[in-house]
Structures are given as C-alpha cells and as structure tokens.
Chains A and B, each alone.
Chain A
Amino acid sequence: MMLALEMYRSLPRYVAAKAMGGRIPGVLTGPAAPIRLITRDAPKPRGPGWARVKPILSGICGSDLGAIFGHTSLYFSALVSMPFVPGHEVVGELMDDCEDLPKGTRVVLDSVLACAARGVEPCPSCESGNTNLCDRITVGHVSPGLQTGYCADTGGGWGGEFVAHRSQLYAVPEGLSDERAVLVEPIACAVHTALKANIPENGSVLVSGAGAVGLFVTLALRELTGAGRISVVAKHARQVELARAFGASDVLAPDEVPARVRRATSAFRLSPERGPEFLLGGVDVAIDAVGSKSSLDTVMRTTRAGGRVVLSGMPSTGADLSPVWFRELEMVGTYATAGAEAFGKAFELAAHAPLDGVVGGRYPLYRWREALDHAHSAGRLGTVKVAFDLRNS
C-alpha cells in the first residue's frame, strides 16, 4: 500500500473544473476537485525490463495543472487511462535491479511510454529514435497513457512508488543534487524545443513566457544554439532576473512586446480595427512557452514573414491563425523529448546552469492543496518550480 495523489477525473468533473475558471483554490477545495489523496495498492512491474522506483522529488508541471484545471483539450482524453497518479518530473531511487542499473541507483525519468516500454514492435517513430512521437501509446501490455503520470498502470511521481521501464530511466551522476536532478526532465524538454526551433545563426528569438518552460528554453537556446538576440516576455521581478541569468538579451513586459520587438527588428507596426497589434517584420523565431490565447496571438503577430513559431506550451484554442497564412509562418510543435540526446545535454546543463533556488517550494503529499496552489501562482510568488518531497511522505 502506498499514499498517492490520484486523478479520477470524470467528464462532468472536468467540465465543472473548467467552469471554475482561474481560481485553483476553488477547484481544489470544491466538490469538482478531480484529484484526491488516497492510500492504494502500489503498481506492479509490467514485465521484463520493468522495475519499481521510489520518488525523492517530483515536480509539478504546467501540463499537470492544465489537467487539474480542465484547461487541457479534450483531445487528450483518448490518451490517458483513469484513475492515474500524476507526476512525470521525477528523481527517484530504484527499488529493484533494472537490467544494468543496480537497485539503489538514483534515476530520472523520461516519462514517454513508447513501444519499448509497452513490449510491442517499434513503430516507425520509435525505430528512428523519436520516441516522443510514438504511435503505439494506447496499446501493448500497459494501459493507454501518453506518459507515466497519465497512465493507470504505472503510477506516477506523486505517489509513494511507481514502476518504470529501463528505456525510460537515466542514472543521475554522482554529485548532482536531487534539487537539480528533478529539473532534468523539464530541461530535456527545453533542450528538445531549442533544437527543434532550428534557430538560424545569430537569429532573433522571442520567448513568450518566463515560467519554468520559458526559462529553461531560454537557457537551452543560449547554451546550445547560435541564437543572437533572445527576448523573453516576463511578468514578475524574479522571472526578469532569472531570464537574464539564463541568457536573455532583453526582457519585455507583456504589453511592451509589439513595440520592443518592432524596435529590435526594425519592423513596421500596424493596428487592425479590432484585436491586437501586429508587425510586418519581426523575429526569426518565436516560441510560445505559455500556451494561452494571448501568448499565441503575440508570437504569431511578431514573427517575420517566413519565420517560425514554436509551440512549446500546451496550446489553448481560439487564437487567430491569419498570420500563419498571410506571413507564411512555419508552425512547429515540440512535445516532450526525443530521448537520450536531449537527456544527455540536460544533465550537462543541470550540472552547471545557475539553478540554485529554482526549486522554490517543497511539500509533502498531504499538503497537496497548498502545493498545487503555490505552483499555480508560482510566477507571482517568485517561484520557478514547486515539487512534492516524498522523502518523508
């Protein structure tokens, strides 16, 4: 038996949570809460190559909040199995030997549940190493679920233990603290985004959003690409400071974006009769690290003709796609990571980047309401990452 937070969302609850709007404490305390703390059976290893993991720290990701909030598109409802224990940003300790990794090894998780974990023949994507694009995430000897943390069979980081396949595990180097190791998965996603963004040498980049995703993407862009000017949109003082520390050339307030990008890129600025301003000209590449309608609008309206818009946050609906058509924008999504390469680079970044204090809140599982509330207001409260601390849970 183990203590775990469980998502048991039903469609009515999903709709109810959505109706609550932005007030997460309301969602968390009200009858619509799609999540609860329970004692339940620990998940069982699913076959050869599987082992149990005891989480040490488990981050709260924007996508987790999206699911709890009901912001997530119903598109995903076919890709999860209920009920599940969330948590996919994990550093933990192996409770069993796992092929070449001995029991006791500290590991981080690549949460994608692709062909290898499911025990099926590799699909073309997995064959080519792009496990994040796997087409088999609903079949095999594991229940449907795009990732650990969205699958009924595996458990997740927000519980006392979970199970993982060898293909999902990376050993944490000696000397890398748990607080840094828990950031490896989100950093790996950022590395993937930065590489996928395909920045031209010395190209100008706009990163909309300075939460964990935006900040790590900024870091990865600066360290791994030839990006020139990196402009980061940030709201809060601590975000501004960190964006600079992570390599932003300049930091803009949300309402300054059209004016400042116009200046920096010598673009023309126009105001339509209704709706936000836009530029003729603009940055070479814009990365949406928020996923809101206004952020999407901003990035599409400030990217130069023929430029690239990268969707890194889970996108919401309702943005006006006219710029994509009129400016012949290239629109690229980046989801999770393509595996080993991104994790390798993420470990390097996690070791030397200025990440001290980035995990700004640690809560035991029983204080989950506070933890989720804190994560929801992280930017305003000057926190980048909130995590569950399972060492004493």
Chain B
Amino acid sequence: MSRPGFVLEVDDRTPPLLVHEGEGFRLERFPTGTRVIYPPESLPGIRDIDAAIANALENPENSEPLRALLRPGMRLTIAFDDVSLPLPPMKRPDIRQRIMEQVLTLAAQAGVDDVEIIAALALHRRMMPSELQHALGERIYRSFAPQGLLYNHDAEDKDNLEFIGETEKGEEVEINKRAATSDLIVYVNINIVPMDGGHKSVPIGLASYRSLRHHHNSHTMVHSRSFMDAEKSAMHHSAWRMGRLLKEHVKIFTVETTLNNDIFPEPIGFMNKREWEWGVRDQANMLAAKRGIALAPKKLKRKIFEDVRSAYGITGVHAGETEAVHAKTLENCFKQQAVEVQGQTDVLIMGVPFIGPYNVNAVMNPILATCMGLGYFFNSYRNMPVVRKGGAVILYHPVQYEFNQLHHPSYVDFFEEVLAESTDPATIEKKFEKQYATDPWYIHLYRTSYAYHGVHPFYMWYWAAHAMDHVGDVVWVGGNRKAVERMGFRAASTLNDALEMVSHTVGRSPSITYTHNPPHLISDVR
C-alpha cells in the first residue's frame, strides 16, 4: 500500500534535500524548522489496463455504452490531448493509443466509417508526425494520417470553425467544425493534474482564439483560486458554461485517465523517493546522475532530459458523460496528489524542473519557467495558497536567456518587446495582446510550422498573474540575472542570499515551506 503525502519538519538529522533546477538538480540544506511537503507515494497502477478501458466504454458514467452510440453512416470524431500531456512523455504504448484502438474497434464493429482523429491543441504548437506516432501508435497513425484523417486542430482555419453561440455571460463558443458537426465526439484525455479535463477538453482544446479569450485573460486568471480547484476557478467556471452550451449542440463521450506518480524512470528513480530512504543504489545513481549532468555538455544534457520516458501506472479509466466522468477523475487525482498542510507560510520554496507542458522537446525559456513556478506550482493548492498574502516565493531554475525559435518565436519578441515595457498582466494584455494574437507571421508559423500561437506567451504570463498579485517578493536561486530582472524579479546565487533578500518582506525569521515536487502534489491548506 502506498503512503499518503507527508509534511516533514527539517531538524539537524535531516539530510540535504533534492531540489529540481531545470536540466539538473541540487541537494540543498534547508534551515531548521522548514516544512517540507512531499507528495503521496505512487498509487498502484491498474494491472489489466485494456480490460479497464473495455469496462469503462461498456459501463460508462451517466451514459449509454459507447457501442450503443455508434451506428452506420454516422460522423464520428475522436479528439485527444496533445503533446503537452503527460510530462514527461509516457513509455509506449501511450494510454491514448490503447483507448483509441478500442474505440476504433467498436466503431468498426458498428459499421462506422466516417471517422476523423484530431489533436486538440487549441493554440499550442502542432504535433509532429513522430509525436503523433508516439501518442497513437503506428497502426492508427498509418491508417489515418496519410489520408488526412488524423490531423492537428487549426484554430486559425476560419473555414473549419463553427460558431455555436454565446453563454449566458456572453462568452462566444466556437470550435472545430468537423467536431461540431459530428454525431459524436469521443474525447480521449490524460489527467495529470486536476486542472485538466472536464469541460476544458472540448470547449478549450478544439476552440479558436475568439472563444479562448473569454477565459484566457489576466482578469479571469487573477480571480482563479486556484486552477486546481474547479469550484474556485473563474477560468473553469467559464469553461463549464461553454461546455454546457456545447452539450446541447453535439454529443460528447468523454474518456478520462489518471496517472500515478511514477514519473522518473530508472536510473533517476531516486527522484521519486524521499531522501532519507534512498538505498545504496539510489545514492549511487544520484551521484552518477549529478556527476553526469555536471560534466555533460549542454546539448547532451538537454538530450538526456528530453529523452526521458516515464512508466506511469494508470490509476483510473472513466468514460461517459463529461461531468460525471470528471468527478471520478478529480477523486483519483486528489487521492494521488493531495497533501494536508496546516496553515500558510511566509516563504514558499519551489524547484522548477526541466519540463513543462509547453516545452516538450525544447528548452524551458524564462517565460515558461515563470509559468511553471508561479503559474502551475504556486497554484497547486486547495482552499488557500501555501504562502500567505504578501509573502515571498523562492524558485530554483537557471532561467537561461534562451528560446527555441521553432516552437516559441513569439516568446522571444514578447520577452524583448512586451516585458521591456511592462510586466503587469493587465497592462500588457490591453496594449499588446491583440497585436500578437493577430500577427500574420505568427499565425503562419502556428498553422504551417511547429510554433505556439502568437498569443501563447501572454497566456503563460497570465497564468502567473494570481501569484504575482498575491506575493510580495519573487527571487530565483541560480537564475540568469538579466533574464530574471527583465521579468521584474530578482536573482540570488544561494538560498541564504535569497532569504536575506526577502527579509524586508517577511522578516528575519520567517516560516518556510518547501514543496518537494515533482512528482506533482497539491497542498490542501487548512
């Protein structure tokens, strides 16, 4: 049986603890009294995954079985989560492949032959052929891709969008035309955090900018407490309204899956464990990894990390009506990730790892590092933030002044032009967002190359809006000074320096909390 999440108080017997910092990690000694929040250990994975999938499709939540929804002559569209999930990518076979093979088998048995498969990437970059093959497997890729029946959603293809209507709050709902005009959409989801899934899948994954801007904006993001808590997230409220409207127009059958915490494969499996329980072998692996990473040239180092494939266990497969399915998913997610934490802290410390949803096979640039630390990790709470209002956040990441030109062309310009003018999300939204969102070159690169949409860096910045609004101070340990300062933060070379720097905000003997992730955790702050 796995053990629940755990809060450690650092004393003089506590060994140095592992902290992620981009393409590397360090062992840090924290001040005595620091609270360290560990995620629960991995839940056991389902033994027979294919049987679990078959069962979910046959006995869905609040819906007829999938086979009953299939009939000859119908239009069936299968949509699936893109390359941003899971992190790191999953060892083959990917769960999306397993589900889709069963869905396609059922469709074939029912005589459905109008089937299209769409990567629901919203404004993310398109998936490359190799990535599609990895997620869906050779068989599906070869049968569908060459005929143009497996493709990336294109949020800028005006001819292939369908306007559905407006919600009671005036939010415009516009999604992929093929999906909107199908008799059935089957959405195949991977839920790594409680933020994803539910009505975020179809109304967001298959939407256009016109539709997305109603919730992906600084105001909504500042008013989400947190993204991991759908009940308190203004963004989710908006997506939910859109989802309910959409449901009246098109039948959606949702399949959601949850993963356990086995994200680090051997030989870096020690990262999944608690330091004082490292065995001789873990110690040896840790030293070898640390040495290897320290010695590796930058390119090789990057490749080592980009090549990580995880052997996740699947903790749940649920299918059927979106909201009923999502309720089960959230239960599983929280069971795996929630840790009860007593009270807030003055200083929150977080290590930012090498990968986030938007830099698969690319360097994590400064904006994405910020989004990861202040957007995702900061928001990994229920009830209230781990750090008190006006407290300080200390992040570990090198924040290199480096951008991947293929995937993130508008990020470079955002960093150089927009952040030079202002770092305030509302200000930059007003002054720059529309220009970037409608820039024909970014649109061209999004549609034909592998670039994130021009507006994407704005969204990443907005993710961090709630944290920037909430905390008084942000310091990056080991961060490139120039890059960090451009974003309005400060850089320190050691934890002690960082604590010294934030002492103006939180005093000389602040309470300190370190959230020991990844693997992912959600602090349930009481």
Contact = CB atoms under 8 A, between A and B. Distances in A.
Interface of A: 256, 259-260, 262-263, 266-269
Interface in B41-84: none
Contact of A268 (B417, B435, B440): B440
A120 B439 CA distance: 58
B444 interface: yes
A266 B435 CA distance: 8
A261 to B, nearest CB: 11
B11 interface: no
A267 B438 CA distance: 12
B413 interface: yes
Interface string B421-456: 000000000000001001111001000000000000
Contacts of B435: 263, 266
B441 A259 contact: no
A262 B438 CA distance: 13
Contacts of A269: 441
22 contacts: A256-B416, A259-B412, A259-B413, A259-B416, A260-B413, A260-B416, A260-B417, A262-B441, A263-B413, A263-B417, A263-B435, A263-B439, A266-B435, A266-B438, A266-B439, A266-B440, A266-B441, A267-B441, A268-B440, A268-B441, A268-B444, A269-B441
Nearest to A250: B417
A287 B444 CA distance: 29
A256 B413 CA distance: 10
A256 B444 CA distance: 21
Given A266-B438, A266-B440, 17 more contacts: A256-B416, A259-B412, A259-B416, A260-B413, A260-B416, A260-B417, A262-B441, A263-B413, A263-B417, A263-B435, A263-B439, A266-B435, A266-B441, A267-B441, A268-B440, A268-B444, A269-B441
A262 B435 CA distance: 12
A322 B441 CA distance: 23
Nearest to A268: B441
Contacts of B413: 259-260, 263
Nearest to A267: B441
A172 B416 CA distance: 45
7 closest A-B pairs (Cβ-Cβ)?
A268-B441, A263-B413, A266-B439, A266-B440, A269-B441, A263-B417, A259-B413
Nearest to A263: B413
Interface in B382-423: 412-413, 416-417
A266 B440 CA distance: 6
Interface in B69-103: none
A260 B412 CA distance: 10
B471 to A, nearest CB: 31
A101 to B, nearest CB: 51
Contacts of B416: 256, 259-260
Contacts of A267: 441
Contacts of A260: 413, 416-417
Nearest to A259: B413
B145 to A, nearest CB: 28
Nearest to B413: A263
Contacts of B440: 266, 268
A52 B417 CA distance: 54
A268 B438 CA distance: 13
A269 B439 CA distance: 12
A266 B438 CA distance: 9
A248 to B, nearest CB: 14
A174 B438 CA distance: 54
Contacts of A262: 441
Contacts of B438: 266
A262 B413 CA distance: 10
B438 to A, nearest CB: 8
Contacts of B441: 262, 266-269
Contacts of B439: 263, 266
Contacts of A259: 412-413, 416
A130 to B, nearest CB: 41
A266 B439 CA distance: 6
Contacts of B444: 268
A362 to B, nearest CB: 36
A269 B449 CA distance: 14
Nearest to A262: B441
Nearest to A270: B441
A318 to B, nearest CB: 29
B414 to A, nearest CB: 10
B97 to A, nearest CB: 37
A267 B441 CA distance: 7
A268 B444 CA distance: 9
Contacts of B417: 260, 263
B234 to A, nearest CB: 31
Contacts of A256: 416
A259 B441 CA distance: 11
A348 B486 CA distance: 40
A175 B412 CA distance: 50
A268 B454 CA distance: 13
A72 to B, nearest CB: 37
B269 to A, nearest CB: 43
Contacts of A268: 440-441, 444
B437 to A, nearest CB: 12
